[in-house]
């Protein structure tokens, strides 16, 4: 059963903010969509793939894309997933989450969710009779308190869900973090479900530490990622799961009940785009956008998180007593400055004291500058 108090509060805010967005011309920083032009090379490949629309597709994923993902993962992280038995292509990230959780979480199972996290995860867990156990991570520039996470592990823990880079804040897990995680699951049957959608959006010379870099972790892990973001094509609705054969067998069982294949042209285009290495330009371009926005608000009352990964920046307004909480502040920004932002309390189920908002800086440069100028006028 869903937590009704949380649902009502969130629904109330969502209704208000959506009404403002619909009725006013606002800068929408809430949407997770990447609003930059799709790469021309990708468009050309997609055009050349249209003829595949009249051909049947493999229900588990087209061979071209499966092999492309195997090759890229092996080249980047050194771990070799093998053929279709360890790869699954889904119709977007929500289906990847649903399939993974549905395959393993049963009535009474506990699922530790490292927050901030995608809100749909709690809903999927509860739909399966599981119990979500949110553990709020500390700030992205501080060490993770693994002892606190360990305290939330019990004999009923079936799964730990995480995102790397972190959902909404871009936290990067270090190799030492993953060693600590490995110690926690050693000798257990706990499954790790990790969202690695923004693995190519890593900044400031940092490197992405995938769970697949650690063979022992990989043996108990399902890695999921959206393929829409690296192609800047949110309407593509393609994602994948990587997992060892014993876990993937269960994913296939669930997947085949709800899906009989996804866009053939889309899969072919993404496969070619990845193999040609077009994703390599992502980090420099989006770091530039992050820095452009942060430089433009340096004289404002906001303190940016300077995210090391992903497309979201958290703006802290601690100490500003005019607003009681981040929802009230977000509504003020939308109504008065025509800037729609996401209150961090909506993606932290372990609420704590929420005094921060999140913006999506994957926007055109002129939009970022316009928004920054408006925020700088706030005093």
CA 338 – CA 335 distance, rounded (Å): 6
Q: 353: pLDDT confidence band, cut at 50, 70 and 90?
A: low
Same domain for 19 and 111, yes or no, is no
CB contact set of 49 (below 8 Å; sequence gap of 6+)? 264, 265, 266, 268, 269
Same domain for 290 and 210, yes or no, is no
Boundary of a domain, candidates 232, 258, 277 = 277
Q: What is the pLDDT of residues 57-105, one digit of tens each?
A: 888 999 999 999 999 999 989 888 877 799 999 999 999 999 999 999 9
Q: 347: pLDDT confidence band, cut at 50, 70 and 90?
A: confident
Among 192, 154, 152, 153, which residue's Cα sits nearest to residue 173?
192
CA 205 – CA 229 distance, rounded (Å): 20
Boundary of a domain, candidates 218, 244, 277 = 277
DSSP letter assigned to residue 271: H
Averaged pLDDT for residues 225-252: 93
Same domain for 112 and 237, yes or no, is yes
Go through 279-310 and write b for each residue having 16 or more CB atoms within 10 A of its CB, e for each that does not.
beebbeebbebbeebbebbeebebbbbebbbb
Same domain for 76 and 24, yes or no, is no
Same domain for 246 and 311, yes or no, is no
Averaged pLDDT for residues 243-266: 92
In the predicted structure, residue 9 carries a pLDDT above the cut 70? no
Torsion (CA) 169, 283, 100, 213 in degrees, nearest 10: -100
Pairing assessment for the beta strands 356-360 and 312-316 based on DSSP bridges? antiparallel
Same domain for 308 and 250, yes or no, is no
Mean pLDDT (the chain) is 88
Query: What is the 3-class SS of 225-247, one letter each residue?
Result: EECCCCCCCHHHCCEEEECCHHH
DSSP codes joined into one string, 16-60: HHHHHHHHS--EE-S-----SPPPHHHHHHHHHTGGGGGS---TT
Which structural domain, as residue segments, surrounds residue 205?
A: 40-277
pTM of the predicted protein model = 0.90
Same domain for 101 and 192, yes or no, is yes
User: 211 near 192, Cβ under 8 Å?
Assistant: yes
CATH code, domain with 325? 3.90.1150.10
Boundary of a domain, candidates 223, 247, 277 = 277
The sign of the CA dihedral 184, 187, 192, 196 is: positive
Q: 7: pLDDT confidence band, cut at 50, 70 and 90?
A: very low
User: 333 near 356, Cβ under 8 Å?
Assistant: no
* Res 141: pLDDT: 54
Same domain for 169 and 50, yes or no, is yes
Same domain for 28 and 63, yes or no, is no
Domain total in the chain = 2
At 245, list the tokens. 């054969």
* Res 356: pLDDT: 86
Q: 346: pLDDT confidence band, cut at 50, 70 and 90?
A: confident
At 138, list the tokens. 């500390």
Q: What is the pLDDT of residues 104-139, one digit of tens each?
A: 999 999 999 998 888 899 999 999 999 999 998 865
* Res 42: pLDDT: 84
CA 306 – CA 297 distance, rounded (Å): 12
User: 318 near 306, Cβ under 8 Å?
Assistant: no
User: 121 near 134, Cβ under 8 Å?
Assistant: no
In the predicted structure, residue 319 carries a pLDDT above the cut 60? no
CA 29 – CA 371 distance, rounded (Å): 9
Q: 12: pLDDT confidence band, cut at 50, 70 and 90?
A: confident
Same domain for 330 and 271, yes or no, is no
Averaged pLDDT for residues 10-38: 85
Averaged pLDDT for residues 205-209: 93
* Res 8: pLDDT: 38
Same domain for 80 and 143, yes or no, is yes
316 strand-pairing partners: 303, 356
* Res 202: pLDDT: 96
Q: Residue 201 — left, alpha, or beta (φ > 0 → left; ψ -120 to 50 → alpha)?
A: beta
Same domain for 31 and 137, yes or no, is no
* Res 116: pLDDT: 85
CATH code, domain with 259? 3.40.640.10
């Amino acid at each position: 059963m869903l937590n009704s108090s949380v649902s009502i509060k969130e629904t109330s805010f969502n209704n208000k903010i959506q009404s403002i967005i619909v009725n006013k011309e606002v800068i929408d920083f809430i949407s997770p969509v990447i609003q930059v032009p799709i790469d021309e090379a990708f468009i050309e490949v997609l055009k050349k793939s249209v003829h595949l629309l009249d051909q049947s597709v493999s229900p588990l994923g087209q061979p071209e894309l499966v092999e492309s993902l195997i090759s890229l993962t092996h080249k980047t992280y050194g771990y070799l997933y093998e053929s279709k038995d360890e790869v699954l292509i889904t119709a977007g990230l929500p289906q990847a989450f649903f399939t993974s959780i549905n395959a393993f979480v049963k009535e009474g199972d506990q699922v530790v969710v490292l927050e901030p996290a995608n809100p749909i995860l709690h809903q999927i867990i509860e739909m399966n009779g599981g119990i979500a156990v949110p553990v709020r991570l500390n700030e992205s520039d501080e060490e993770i308190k693994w002892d606190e996470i360990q305290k939330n592990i019990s004999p009923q823990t079936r799964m730990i869900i995480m995102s790397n880079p972190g959902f909404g804040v871009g936290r990067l897990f270090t190799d030492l973090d993953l060693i600590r995680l490995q110690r926690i699951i050693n000798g257990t049957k706990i499954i790790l479900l990790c969202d690695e959608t923004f693995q190519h959006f890593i900044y400031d010379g940092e490197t992405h530490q995938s769970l697949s870099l650690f063979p022992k972790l990989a043996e108990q892990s399902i890695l999921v990622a959206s393929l829409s973001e690296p192609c800047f094509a949110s309407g593509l609705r393609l994602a994948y799961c990587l997992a060892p054969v014993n876990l993937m067998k269960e994913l296939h069982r669930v997947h085949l009940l709800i899906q009989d294949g996804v866009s053939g042209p889309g899969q072919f285009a993404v496969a070619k785009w990845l193999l040609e290495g077009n994703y390599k330009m992502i980090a420099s371009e989006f770091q530039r956008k992050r820095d452009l926005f942060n430089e433009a608000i340096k004289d404002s009352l906001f303190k940016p998180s300077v995210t090391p990964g992903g497309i979201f920046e958290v703006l802290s307004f601690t100490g500003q007593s005019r607003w009681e909480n981040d929802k009230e502040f977000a509504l003020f920004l939308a109504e008065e400055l025509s800037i729609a932002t996401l209150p961090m309390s909506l993606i932290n189920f372990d609420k704590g004291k929420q005094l921060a908002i999140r913006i999506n800086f994957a926007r055109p440069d002129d939009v970022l500058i316009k928004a920054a100028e408006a925020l700088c006028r706030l005093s």
